[in-house]
Amino acid sequence: MCSIFLVRHGEHPLIGTTLVGRDNASVHLSDQGWQQARELATLLGDRDIECIQSSPRVRCLETAGPLADRLGLPVHVHDALDEIDFGDWTGLTFEALEQDPQWYMWNASRARARAPGGETIMEACTRAMQHVEQMCIRYPSKAIAMFTHAELIRAVRLHQRGLSPDAWHSVEVPPVSITELWMWPSRSPTPAQESIFAAAAS
């Protein structure tokens, strides 16, 4: 059995105000985010994690850093864990997005809507689940921490429950929250059990 810890990155200055997306250069953890990352390292430090993986985004790499230092492990970057590609919406404030009819459609029908110039939730979920399943085949008895993003974690959790992405509002993914999935190696999709931990810091 493979244990996967899906961890959302810590807080940054634009959280809650801007759709940061794949903007990498300008988004770093806030002081609170760094504190969350350190507390997260303590929380996960005794979970026998043998591999640490991360989205390429700086906010995820920074969140993974304290755990990597504590365990003496490298952080492996995987594009499959990257933020959803929000295309033309990347970097816009949520206030501006509220004026866009396509944003309304995105939230009303996430199972079908596509971000302009970007990807769909289903495409993002597929790449994430394929990566998780591949890692469980490669490391059938290891614990792996994967640092990624709220929408990707939400999509995976809904998928594992057999729910549509349209049920997104039923799943909360706060900063530095941890979703643990227990996966049995298989080349066909296998339902995973999940356990949700409280955020390391609020």
Each domain of the chain, given as residue ranges in start order, spans 2-197
Q: What is the pLDDT of residues 160-202, one digit of tens each?
A: 888 999 999 899 999 999 999 888 766 444 555 566 665 554 4
pLDDT at 141: 85
pLDDT in tens, 40-98: 999 999 999 999 999 999 999 999 999 999 999 999 999 999 999 999 999 999 999 99
DSSP state of 184: -
For residues 155 and 136, what is the distance between their CA atoms, to the nearest angstrom? 19
- The pLDDT score that the predictor gives to residue 23 is 85
In which band, very low, low, confident or very high, does the pLDDT at 2 lie, cut at 50, 70 and 90?
Answer: confident
**Assigned CATH for 2-197:** 3.40.50.1240
Query: What does the pLDDT read at residue 189?
Result: 46
Residue that wins the pLDDT comparison between 138 and 76: 76
- Structure token digits, residue 68: 């990597």
Bridge partners, residue 114, by sequence: 120
**Backbone torsion region of residue 114, taken as left when φ is above 0, otherwise alpha when ψ lies between -120 and 50, otherwise beta:** beta
> What does the pLDDT read at residue 183?
80
Of the candidates 136, 154, 145, the residue with the CA atom closest to the CA atom of residue 44: 145
* pLDDT tens profile 96-133: 999 999 999 999 999 999 999 999 999 999 999 999 98
Judge contact between 156 and 131, C-beta under 8 A. Answer: no
Q: How far is CA 8 from the centre of its chain?
A: 5
What mean pLDDT is reported for the chain? 90
SS3 (DSSP) at 73: coil
* Average pLDDT score over residue span 16-20: 95
